[in-house]
Chain A
């Protein structure tokens, strides 16, 4: 058995307290505002990287923080969707939104296959199955000719959105990515605060009891898994188009480890935590890149510190202090 000990703020009921709702609304607006202004201050490609990883972490958190399921192989969905979208854009010449959609579908399909197998077990065994299957996906990507092996798929065209607007300019691409990100965030928020989300949390906290109340736990878990995989796929597909390449790094198990770290640092079981976590991790990688091996060391230190004293993560800590769920 192993349900993750989540440090999340208590939530009263489906109909949330009014002040919490307006708090969240304000946060949404703040995020949107920051997104509008940010490209004038920071480098747009950096921001897009943050957004893609934030979405990946949000998708992962849906499964871990709210579903209580730790997947060690989430990179498989992220990376495979990236390859799919890259292939669709470069070889089939699909427009960007179709390529990304295709990537998302591949992520969903893969999620269904993996989830159906993994859900049958609990706790650490669940995690190990996801790891094993993700490793197989990695080796498939290494061998398959369409993925280009260790060169990856290079020179992916960004194309014209809906066949009309060219996404070649980083600023335009950024606007597209931001819109998609906000939409996905809103979607995740709705899922979490819906009856589905509540049932999910009930299953996470006490599965036997939830089953005895009539909830088909397996179906909920599978549905969440597929959702999480699709959104991870969405993130992966977008990233492939932002950077115009898809590579093995995105399906390697260390990528699965990174998303765990992002979620942990940001705050598992909070809605906005993964965003902060992704921001911290990507910024760290970016600005410490010149220090080589120190990046790994610092990442390790962050892991250790977070696990020991900072389990609720940045946003979790803030939520605890202001005593409202975030």
Chain B
């Protein structure tokens, strides 16, 4: 009896609670949010390092813009689209976040793009590689800043073929990323005069690649392309080294790799590997200075994602300063109108479909003998100009760009 009364009373109190209004809107700060993988397989490529890079950008800008304080929040999407989406929703609806950046994982990126666009907030896709972000799912507010599957495949495909790698074999992870990169690269390779002699799909997260590599070796190809990412790429490369794939004369091409992956593999195993990157710390004096600043804080050299985080925030803040407002539409229009010249990109522009065009770099991993100091991992083989590494307007599936004229 008593218990019943207790519970009924509790219900009553609950009902009588003052109905608090929803959380406040912050109109007096400029709030930036980074949602990224802080603990999963991409945590080293972006993760806490990305947050640090953004803090550096805010610091370099002076901490305030147009008299308003700049605030920064970061959260882990744990590689789950619903967690990422829910968090970003909450940020924009409740916490007054004005701009969102997303780290790796295209599934999260696509979800967040939609949410940001519905609420008219600028969204920078930094780590997601899915080219859908600037094609089928393009929005006026999505800016695909660092790179996408197209830039990975176009650049490396043509560069390797012209360098002599004519017979290709694909080892592809059997999921959307893998199959789309394979498809894009195949198209480029055959267009440039190469042939695809074979391909094999492995299950995502397969731990042993020896069997697939054996088939690749038996195919007669001179180039082995790894259309996978993360741990799959690392394991493929380790196995390739063990089974003497490169010693046997095959060229190894990693379609999606980060500086931190090379660090994890070590040069003795990764030497000779070809890959495309959007940025490298040792390219020129500007990148070196920034890279060393980052190193002082994180004890690792930055990847292109960290540099892109820094640059994107700088670009955004410059646009906010120029327009005098943090209104999403005006800021995006400003960003699409101004060129980007910083340590990440020279002469970079944001196209109407949202893609940020900047140069990509074909890199080869150095041998241990060639590497003179820590993190000296890449030699630059070729610069791939921005427009060559992106979807052309003719190929674009972004209705807003191809349909209407801006």
Contacts and interface: CB of A to CB of B under 8 A. Distances in A.
Interface of A: 19, 22-23, 26-27, 29-30, 33-34, 36-37, 40-41, 43, 45-46, 49, 139, 142-143, 148-152, 154-155, 170, 239, 243-245, 247-250, 285-286, 289-293, 295-296, 322, 324
Interface residues of B, number: 50
Interface stretch (B74-82, B146-154, B155-163, B216-224): B74-82
A142 B8 contact: no
Interface stretch (B83-91, B245-253, B275-283): B83-91
Contacts of B78: 289, 295
Interface in B1-50: 1, 3-4, 7-8, 10-12, 14-15, 17, 19-23, 38-39, 43, 48
Contacts of B74: 290
A290 B1 contact: no
A91 B86 CA distance: 23
A290 B177 CA distance: 27
Contacts of B7: 23, 26-27, 30
A291 B74 CA distance: 10
B15 A45 contact: no
25 contacts: A26-B4, A26-B11, A29-B8, A30-B11, A33-B12, A37-B19, A43-B94, A139-B203, A151-B106, A151-B107, A154-B107, A154-B110, A154-B111, A154-B114, A244-B111, A247-B107, A248-B107, A249-B79, A250-B82, A289-B75, A290-B38, A290-B75, A293-B39, A295-B76, A296-B39
B2 to A, nearest CB: 9
A143 B173 CA distance: 11
A142 B38 contact: no
A91 B85 CA distance: 21
B81 A289 contact: no
Per DSSP, are chain A's interface residues mostly helix, strand or loop, or mixed? Answer: helix
Contacts of A249: 79-82
Contact of B137 (A27, A152, A154, A170): A154
A290 B76 contact: yes
A46 B43 contact: no
Given A154-B114, A292-B38, A322 B86 contact: no
Given A148-B176, A151-B106, A289 B76 contact: yes
B83 A152 contact: no
Contacts of B94: 43
A37 B17 CA distance: 8
Contacts of B110: 151, 154
B11 A245 contact: no
Given A26-B8, A34-B14, A245-B82, A150 B114 contact: no
Contacts of A22: 4
Contacts of B114: 154-155, 244
A45 B107 contact: no
**Interface hub of A247, A291, A322 (most chain B Cβ within 10 A):** A247
B174 interface: yes
Interface string B127-149: 00010100001000000000000
Contacts of B111: 152, 154, 243-245
Nearest to A291: B76
Question: Ordered nearest first, which 5 A-B pairs have the shortest CB separation?
Answer: A292-B39, A149-B176, A292-B38, A30-B11, A293-B39
Q: Is the interface of B mostly helix, strand, loop or mixed?
A: helix
Nearest to B37: A292
A247 B90 contact: no
B11 A19 contact: no
Nearest to A255: B80
Nearest to B114: A155
A45 B89 contact: yes
A292 B43 contact: yes
B85 A245 contact: yes
A290 B34 CA distance: 11
Contact of A289 (B87, B93, B107, B176): B87
A30 B10 contact: yes
B4 A285 contact: no
A86 to B, nearest CB: 12
Contact of A151 (B38, B82, B85, B176): B176
Interface in B42-80: 43, 48, 74-76, 78-80
Interface string B88-111: 011001100000000000110011
Interface in B311-343: none
A36 B17 CA distance: 11
A218 B35 CA distance: 48
A114 B22 CA distance: 45
B227 to A, nearest CB: 14
Contacts of A248: 107
B295 interface: no
B204 interface: yes
Nearest to B74: A290
Contact of A41 (B20, B106, B137, B177): B20
Contacts of B20: 40-41
Contacts of B43: 292
A68 to B, nearest CB: 28
Contact of B85 (A170, A243, A290): A243
Find the residue from B11, B43, B79 having the highest chain A CB count within 10 A: B11
A245 B4 contact: no
B175 interface: yes
A29 B17 CA distance: 16
Nearest to B174: A143
Nearest to B177: A150
Given A26-B4, A45-B90, A150-B106, A247 B15 contact: no
Contacts of B3: 23, 322, 324
A142 B82 contact: no
A285 B78 CA distance: 10
Contacts of A139: 203
B85 A37 contact: no
B10 to A, nearest CB: 6
Contacts of B80: 247, 249
A43 B83 contact: no
Nearest to A19: B1
A215 to B, nearest CB: 34
A285 B81 contact: no
Contacts of A19: 1, 4
B47 to A, nearest CB: 8
| Residue among B12, B39, B106 facing the most chain A CB atoms (10 A cut-off) | B39
Contacts of A49: 82, 86
Contacts of A324: 3
A245 B78 CA distance: 16
A23 B4 contact: yes
